[in-house]
Structure 1
Amino acid sequence: MGKSQLAAYLARQLRDQERTTSAGLDVLVWARATGPDQIITAYAEAAGQLHLSGADQEGEDGAARLFVRWLAATRRRWLVVLDDLTDPAPLEEWWPDSGTGNGWVMATTRREDAQFSGQGRTLLRLGLYTREEAGAYLRRRLTDAGHAHLHDAGRADELANELGDLPLALGHAAAYLINTRRTMSDYLTLLRDQSSRLGDLFPSSADTEGYGRPVTASLLLSLDSVHEADATHLARPLLQLAALMDPHGHPDTAWTTSAALSYLRTARPPRRRRLRRHHPAVTEGEVRSALECLRTYALITQDTATAPIRLHALTARAVRETIPSGTLSAAVCTAADAIMSLWPRHDHEERELAAALRASTVHLDDLTRPALWQTETHPCIYQASSSLTDAGLYQQAIEYDESTVRRSNDIHGPDHPDTLRARSNLAVSYSDAGRVQEALDLRERVLADRERILGDDHPDTLSARSNLANSYSDAGRVQEALDLDERVLAERERILGDDHP
C-alpha cells in the first residue's frame, strides 16, 4: 500500500479511461528503476513491441534511445512509470521528454535529492497513513474479504497506533486477521507480546527510520500462522531465501532448481524414522504449496502463478533478521547457485530474465558481501559482467567490472587468480566499448602477471595471450596479432594435443 501501489492505481485509472473516453493511454511502460540497465531493458522491450524501425539491430542501449526519441515526437498518449528510482544520474539521459505534450513520466523513489524536482518535475512527498486512513484501510480490507465483523473501531485505532500507521505493517495485520479469524483484541495481545521480545532481533538503535519494529512484529505473527498452516514446513526457509533476492522481482523457478531443493531438504525440520533423523527429498509440488501459503498471508506477491516473486523491501529486511547466522552462508550460496542455474545461454533470447538475474546478483552481493567472494568468487559475479556486455550496456559493464576488480583485490589480493580474471573481464568490457588502447594495456599487464604467477604453459596464460592477440588486431597491429596467435596455437598443440577443443 505504498508509493508503487499509488503509482499503479493512477496508471490503471489512465489506462482504463480508454474504454469510455478518448482520453486514455496508447502506450504504458512500467520500468523497475533501481539501476540504469533495468530502465534500458524496459525501454528496449517497448521499442520492440512498438516495432520501431531499427530496434532489432541496435542492441539494448540503441533500441532504448530509439524509444526515448519516439516518445518525444509521437502524438500518441503515453505514460512511463520509473518505479523505485534509486539514483538521480539516469534522470538526464533516460527521463523522456514529451515534446508534443501527450506524455507523462511518473517516478517513485525513497530519495528527495534536488535533481528529482528539476526541469519541470514536481516532487510529491508521501508519508505514513493518517490515523483516519489507517482505520479506513483496515475496515475496507476486512469488509472486502467478507469479514466485516472482525473490524472493531476502537481497537482499530489502537492497532494503528501500535503499528505506527505504517501501511505495510497494517497489510500484514489485516492478512493475519482474515486468515486466522482472530479478533483485533487477540491480535493486539499477541503483537504486544512479540514486540517485547524484539530488542535482540531488531534493536531500535539500528532502525533510524522507525519502520523495522512494527514491520518485524507483524511479520513474526504472520510467520507463526504460516508455520501452523504450512504442511510442507518449507515456507519459512523459502521466505528467507526470497528475502536475499531483488525485492522488485525474481523468478519463482529459482526455488525449484536442484540447488534450492537440496538446501530446502535440510532446512526444514527432519522427520523421525525409528532411531534416526530423516530428511526426505523436497518436491516441486511442496515448493509451490509453500509459496501459495506465503501469498495467502501477503508475505510475497505474485501477479500470476508464474509471475516473478516480489517482496516489499521492508518485509525482506525484516525477514533477513530472522535468518540464523549459522545458516546465512549456506542460504547465500543457494541463492547464488539458483541464479546461475536459471541464467539463459544467450541473454538476448530472454532479456527480461537476464535483467532480473543481474539485479538479484548485485542485490545479493550488496547485502551479504564478502559471502560470494569466499573462498573463491562465485561464478554469478562474473556472469553479471558478461550479461551486461551481451545486452550492449557497455558503460554499465565497465563500472561493474571496475568495482569487481577493486573488491577482488581487497578480498583476495592482487595476484589471486580471481583478481586476474576480474581484470581480464574489465579488458573485455573496455574492448566492447571501443576503448581499444585501455583494453590492450590491461591485457598486456594480465598476461605478464599470469606468466609470473602461473607459468608460461598454464591454460589461463594461454588464454591471456590469445586475448592480447585480439587487442593487437583491434588496434590495427595485424602482424603482432598474427605472430602471437601462431605462438598460442603451437603451444596449445604441444600441451593439449591436436584434437583438444
Structure 2
Amino acid sequence: MSLVDAVWEHLATVKRWLIIVDNVDTPTRIGPGSGPLAAGRGWLRPHGGGVLLVTSRDTTRQTWGPDADLIHLPPLADNEGGAVLLDAAPHAGTAAEAESLAVRLGGLPLGLNAAGTYLSVPTSRHRTFSAYQHALEAEFADLLGAEHPGAAADPEVSRRVVRHTWDLSLDQLHQDGYTLARPVLQLLALLEPAPVPRTLMTPELVADATGLPATAADVDAALAGLHQYGLLHTPGATAPGDGVPPVNQLQLHPLVRDVTAHTLTRPEPTNTWLAAIDEHLTRAVDMVTGMSGRTGWPTARLLAPHLPAHLDRSTQNGSSTARDTLGDLAGALNAAGATSEELLLRRRILADRERVLGPDHPDILTSRNNLANALDDLGEHRQAADLHQRNLTDRER
C-alpha cells in the first residue's frame, strides 16, 4: 500500500480532523503520480470525516473536481480594509482616511499589509494615510512596485511582495503553455481602469502590439488562464433589451493593473503598444458606430472611458483624427441614451478644440452646442442654458 493510501485509510477511521494545505500554486505537483487532482486519488481527496482546506490561486472547477466547494475570496470591503490599516498604523490618521486609502488599494490584503507595514515604521518618509495615498501617484514604483532581491529565488518572498506576487501565476501559466498570458495582461493594464469589451482584445491587437504570433485560440487561452488564476475578472453586463445580447467584459483589479503597467519596460514597449491600442480603439469605434439598431450600444458604453486617454495621446502626436472618433462614439451614445458616457466625451472634445483651434472657430460653437444638449438630457438645465446663451452671443457677434 502506498503512503498516501495508508494516510487516507487511517483518516477514514477518524472524525473531526482538519488538514490545511496552503499555497498550492502548482496543483499538478500534488502527487503522487501525474493523475488529475479532480480524480481524487492523490493526496487531496474530497471525502472523509473531516475537512480538507486548500488555498490556491487556481480557481477552476476542472482542477478541483465536482465534489470540491470552491470559495472565492473577494477583496476586503472598504471599512474592513480601513480597519486593517488602522490596526497596523493607528497613529497614521482617521478611520475615514484609512478607508480612503483602502479603496485606492482595492481592498487587496497584500497591498493593505504593505501600506500598513510602511506606515508603521517611524523612519518612513510618508507617515499618514493621506500622504501615502497622495504619494502613490508619483512614487508607485518605489512604494508598491519595488523589486525584492530575493523574490526570484524564493517563492515565499514573492508571495509577500506586491511587485512579484502575480509573477508566480504568470510564470506558471507560461510553463503550462499559455505564452500570451503575460503580454495580454500587460495590454489590458495599459487601458483605463474600467471594464474592456472582450471584442477589443483581438489576435490582431496582440500581434500588432507585441510582435508575437497570435491566433484567436491563443488569445482565448490566455484570457482563460488569467481568469483561472484570478488575475482577470469578467463583470456582468446589462443588455439594452429587445434581444440584444450582453457584451462580455474584461477587468483587472486596480492594483494588478497598476503594478503591471508600472513594471513594463519604458519607453518601449509602451509606446509601440499604445500606438497599437489607439489604432484598434479607432477600429472598434468604427465597427460599433456602423452597426444597425441597438446592436452596438453596449460596446459603445464600454469603449467610452478608454477614449479620453486615446485623445490625449493622439493630441501629443499631433493628430486630430481622434476628435472625430470621440465625436462618432458620442453620437452613438446619444442614440443609446447613455448620457453620462456621452457627456464625458463631449467635454473632452470641446476642451481639446478650444485648446487647438481657439475660442472663435466655428467648430467650437458646434462642440459647445453638443455639450449643452448632453447636459440638458442629464437634467443639468441651468448649465445647458448658460452654454446655449454663450453660443447665441458668439454667433450674433
What TM-score, normalized by structure 1, do the two folds share?
A: 0.39
TM-score by length of 2: 0.48
